[in-house]
Structure 1
Amino acid sequence: MARTGRRQFLGGLLAAGLIPKPTWADVGSPVFLSAAATPDGSYVLCGIDAALDVRFQIPLPTRGHAAAAHPSQPEAVAFARRPGTFAIIIDCITGVEKARIDSPMGRHFYGHGTFSSDGSLLFTTENDYEAGRGLIGVWDAQNGFARIDEWDSGGVGPHDIKRLPGTDMLVVANGGIYTHPETGRTKLNIPTMAPNLAYIEDGTVAEIASLPADMHKNSIRHLAVGPEGQVAFGMQWQGDGPVATLVGIHQMGQPVRLMTANANDLRAMQGYVGSIVLSSDGHTIAVTSPRGGFVQEYSVGVGALSKSSAIPDVCGAAVLGQSIFVSAGTGEIGPLNTGGPTLQRQMNVQWDNHLIPISTA
Structure 2
Amino acid sequence: MNRRQFTLFALASAFTGAASASSGGKALKNIIESEDNTDLKNHSKSQSTDVFGAYDDENGQHFVTCLNLIDNKLSGEKLDSLQIPFRAHDTIPLSKGRSLSFARRPHNQMIISDFATKEQRIINANEGRHFYGHGCIDISRNTLFATENDYDNARGVISLRDAHNFKQLGEYESCGIGPHDIHLMPDNKTLVVANGGIETHPDFGRRKLNIKTMQPSLTFIDIDSGKKIDEYRLSNHKLSIRHLMVTADGGVAVGTQYQGQPIDGTPDYLLAWIDKNTDGLQTFDNNRQFTKDCRGYIADVAVDTHAQIMAATSPRGNNVSFWSIPNRTLLKTIEISGPSGLCFNSKDQEFLVSNDKGVVFKIPLNSNQFIATQLQTFPVKWDNHMYISV
Give the aligned partner of residue 220 of structure 2: 199
2:291 is equivalent to residue 274 of structure 1: no
Contact 1:117/1:166 (8 A) holds in 2: no
Counterpart CA distance in 2 for 1:162 and 1:301 is: 22
Task: Rate the CA distance shift 1:27–1:329 in 2: closer, same or farther, 3 A.
Answer: farther
Secondary structure in 1 matching 2:344: strand
Cα RMSD between the aligned structures?
2.4
Structure 2, unaligned stretches of length 5 or more?
1-35
| Pair 332,204 (structure 1): closer, same or farther in 2 beyond 3 Å | same
Q: For residue 139 of structure 2, give the secondary structure of its aligned residue in structure 1.
A: coil
Question: Can you list the C-alpha shifts for 1:266-314, whole angstroms capped at 9, x where unaligned?
Answer: 2111000111111132611111111111111111111111111110010
Amino acid at match of 1:93: A
- In 2, the alpha carbon distance for the partners of 1:137 and 1:235 equals 23
Instruction: Provide the TM-score with structure 2 as the length reference.
Output: 0.80
Checking the alignment, whether the CA contact within 8 Å between 2:156 and 2:179 is kept in structure 1 is yes
Tell me which residue corresponds to 2:109: 86
Q: Judge conservation of contact 1:36–1:45 (CA < 8 Å) in 2.
A: yes
Cα gap change, 1:166 to 1:208, in 2 (>3 Å): closer
- 5 Å-filtered alignment, 1:105-124, equals 105-118=127-140, 120-124=142-146
Are the counterparts in 1 of residues 89 and 104 from structure 2 also a CA contact under 8 Å? yes
Moved more, 275-284 or 265-274: 275-284
Asked whether the equivalents of residues 363 and 373 of structure 2 are also in contact (C-alpha less than 8 Å), the reply is: no
Q: Does 1:48 align with 2:48?
A: no
Instruction: Tell me if the contact between 2:363 and 2:372 (Cα under 8 Å) persists in the aligned partners.
Output: no
Once residues 276 and 115 of structure 2 are traced to their aligned partners in structure 1, the CA distance between those partners, rounded to angstroms, is 35
Instruction: Give the secondary-structure state (helix, strand or coil) at the position aligned to 2:38.
Output: coil
**Using the alignment, how far apart are the partners of 1:20 and 1:245 within structure 2?**
44
Q: 1:277 to 1:340 in 2, by over 3 A?
A: same
8 Å CA contact retained: 2:269, 2:287: no
CA contact (8 A) 1:34 1:46 kept: yes
- TM superposition shift of 1:187: 1.2
The answer (yes or no) to whether the contact 2:56–2:383 under 8 Å persists in 1 is yes
User: How much has 1:103 moved relative to structure 2?
Assistant: 1.2
Show the counterpart of 2:18: none
Indicate if the aligned counterparts of 1:154 and 1:208 stay in contact, CA closer than 8 A: no
Matched, 1:350 2:373: no
Q: Which runs of 5+ in 1 are unaligned?
A: 1-18
What amino acid is aligned across from residue 319 of structure 1 in structure 2? F
How far does residue 260 in structure 1 lie from its aligned partner after superposition?
Answer: 1.0
Number of positions where the alignment pairs a residue of Structure 1 with one of Structure 2: 337
The residue identity in structure 1 corresponding to 2:324 is: S
Measured in 2, the distance between the counterparts of 1:112 and 1:267 equals 27
Give, as a single letter, the amino acid of the residue that structure 2 aligns with 1:171: V
Checking the alignment, whether the CA contact within 8 Å between 2:362 and 2:373 is kept in structure 1 is no
Higher relative contact order (CA 8 A, sep 6+): 2
> Is the 1:196–1:208 contact (alpha carbons within 8 Å) kept by the matching residues of 2?
no
Give the Cα–Cα distance (whole angstroms) in 1 for the partners of residues 211 and 351 of structure 2: 33
Q: Which residue pairs with 2:363 in the alignment?
A: 336
What is the match of residue 14 of structure 1?
none
- Aligned partner of 1:245 among 269, 272, 295: 269
Distance in structure 1 (CA, Å) of the matches to 2:241 and 2:125: 23
Q: Distance in 2 between matches of 1:355 and 1:306?
A: 23
Identical columns (%): 34
Secondary structure in structure 2 of the residue aligned to 1:243: coil
Larger mean CA deviation between 184-193 and 253-262 belongs to 253-262
Corresponding letter in the other structure for 1:160: D
**For 1:85-140, what per-residue CA distance to the aligned partner results, in whole angstroms no more than 9, with x for missing partners?**
0001122321201x322111111111111111347211110011111111001111
Residue 256 of structure 2 corresponds to which residue in structure 1?
Answer: 235
